[in-house]
Amino acid sequence: MYRLDDRIVALATPWGRSAIAVIRASGAGCLEALDPLFRGRKTPSSMRGYSLAHGALVDPGTGEMLDEVLLAVFRAPHSYTGEDAAEISCHGSPAGVERIMRTLRAHGFRAAEPGEFTLRAFLNGKLDLTEAEAVHEVVSARTANAHTLALHRLEGRLRARIDAIKEKIASVVAEVEVQLDYPEEDVEHPVSAHLIQEASHEVDGLLATYRVGRLYREGVRVVLAGRTNAGKSSLFNLFMREDRAIVSEVHGTTRDYLEGWISLKGVPVLLYDTAGIRDGGDPVEAEGIRRTREILSHADAVIYLVDGTEGLSEGEEALIAELGAERPLIPVWNKVDASAVLPPPEGFIPLSCRTGEGFARLEETLHRVFPEAEGGGAEVVIDSERQRDALVRCRDSLEGGLDALSRGAPLDALAVYLHDAMEALGEITGEVTREDILERIFSCFCVGK
């Protein structure tokens, strides 16, 4: 997979115009390699770790100045990657950054692959695998809650929980192995089955957090549906807290769909504003309606709006029942501010997109559709399929061990189950990891992380 003995470089900030851009470099000999490129009071290789220098970056070939920069030096092992490393803060001009990167690549540095800095940090023991994965989650968190949960993992809280479970299993393994190694002692020590039981419960507890973790990582899709002019685009704008969608009394104004992320009390929600469902209209609108149905089929929840001044149209009740049979559906009676509004039928939430009346209740109702959201304040949450699969294997091995114990199976059989359980936990933290797993984890990172 990746080479580890060379020097890598990447832009750590997004491409584009900005006041400052940060370029990151790491690898053995990286400071020496920067010496000919940096003009300042000191050479990078003579600087202490955690020190800064102001100077100019130059092209060593032509002597041409590339930018005025601030250079931060990190010395192994006290850097993010555990290697000698540098961070160059330069001006955030795409053309300038491109020139610097090109020069670095021509003078001893290789462009880093996605996640390569974090991979090196992991391989150098600076992070365990749960923390390395958390780096990615922190960077891509969409709401404050998702961010906090990822930070907890980055802090090592998941690793600490896993280590505590592993310790329990290890102490049983020790008991079993003593008896296996010294059978001649002939004293039957009972095995601490309660520790295996406890470990299994704790693994179950972590597994139960998977749905919470996934909810905060991936978010949910909520679709606004209803007939044309019901107020879907108005509600979309209310949720977005800005005028994103075009609102008008012309039927069929929204012909395609719009989507946008919102935070629903911390839960990332991808909200869709769709073309209204009605028969007729022109072919473009018909295509919009086909897409609406397509999006509806992937929705985690639907908010169905009815124009309260018009009331339910023919066949609409049947449509609401049909859509609601497949996923949670919240029926909403919109335009309650209008004088001509009809009384809302049973079960409809009264709403006015114009005045905002009923919006808080709608948000509350939508939030309750996702009961896992309550776990958002949890200390530790697992969120990757990889972690879940390993935990399932661990739990199954522990249960297998308990079963063997209760059947009076020989102790070696129990030892095998316990070792399997330990190994599954070791996979989560990265003590035992296959290359393909690492490849999969780090390849989804952004470059420069």
Ligand X SMILES: Nc1nc2c(ncn2[C@@H]2O[C@H](COP(=O)(O)OP(=O)(O)O)[C@@H](O)[C@H]2O)c(=O)[nH]1
335 is known to lie in a ligand binding site = no
The token duo for 126 is: 């600076």
> Rounded to whole angstroms, how far apart are CA atoms 335 and 204?
47
CB of 335 to ligand X, least distance (A): 4
Alpha helices in 110-264 (DSSP H): 116-123, 129-140, 144-154, 157-181, 193-208, 210-218, 232-240
The H helix count followed by the E strand count for the chain is 15, 13
171 binds ligand X (CB under 6 A): no
200, 352, 384, 387: which one contacts ligand X (CB under 6 A)? Answer: 352
DSSP assigned state of 78: S
Instruction: Report 354-373 residues binding ligand X (CB under 6 A).
Output: 354
Q: What is the 3-state secondary structure (H, E, C) of 318-360?
A: HHHHHHHHHCCEEEEEECCCCCCCCCCCCCCEEECCCCCCCHH
Instruction: Report 184-243 residues binding Mg ion (CB under 5 A).
Output: 232-233
* Contact residues for 218 (Cβ-Cβ < 8 A; gap 6+): 268
The token duo for 86 is: 């540098």
334 binds Mg ion (CB under 5 A): no
Instruction: Report 312-351 residues binding ligand X (CB under 6 A).
Output: 334-335, 337-338
- Omega into 44 within 30° of 0, i.e. cis? no
Q: How many CB atoms lie within 10 A of CB 114?
A: 17
CB closer to Mg ion out of 68 and 243? 243
- The entry of ligand X, Mg ion, none that residue 231 binds, CB within 5 to 8 Å by partner kind: ligand X
Instruction: Report 231-270 residues binding ligand X (CB under 6 A).
Output: 231-234, 247-249, 253-254
- Tell me, residue by residue from 196 to 235, as one string, x for binding to ligand X by CB under 6 A and - for no binding: ------------------------------x-xxxxxxx-
CB closer to ligand X out of 37 and 366? 366
Alpha-carbon Rg for the chain, nearest whole angstrom, is 29
89 binds ligand X (CB under 6 A): no
254 binds Mg ion (CB under 5 A): yes
375 binds ligand X (CB under 6 A): no
CB closer to ligand X out of 240 and 247? 247
Task: Give contact residues for Mg ion (rule: CB under 5 A).
Answer: 232-233, 254
The binding site comprises 24, 87, 126, 229-234, 248-254, 273-276, 449
